[in-house]
Amino acid sequence: MANTYTQIHIQAIFAVQNRQSLIKSDWEEELYRYITGIIQNNGHKVLQINGMPDHIHILFGMRPTQSLADLMKEVKQNSSKWINNKRMVPGRFSWQAGYGAFSYSKIQLPRVIRYIQNQKEHHKMESFQEEYLKLLKVHEVEFDRQFIFQAPK
Q: What is the pTM of this model?
A: 0.90
Confidence of residue 1 (pLDDT cuts 50, 70, 90): low
Is residue 68 one of the residues assigned to a domain?
A: yes
> What are 81-94's pLDDT values in tens digits?
999 999 999 999 99
* Domain CATH for 88: 3.30.70.1290
Is residue 133 one of the residues assigned to a domain?
A: yes
The identity of residue 72, as a single letter, is M
| Number of folded domains that form the chain | 1
Structural domain harbouring 142: 9-147
Is residue 153 one of the residues assigned to a domain?
A: no
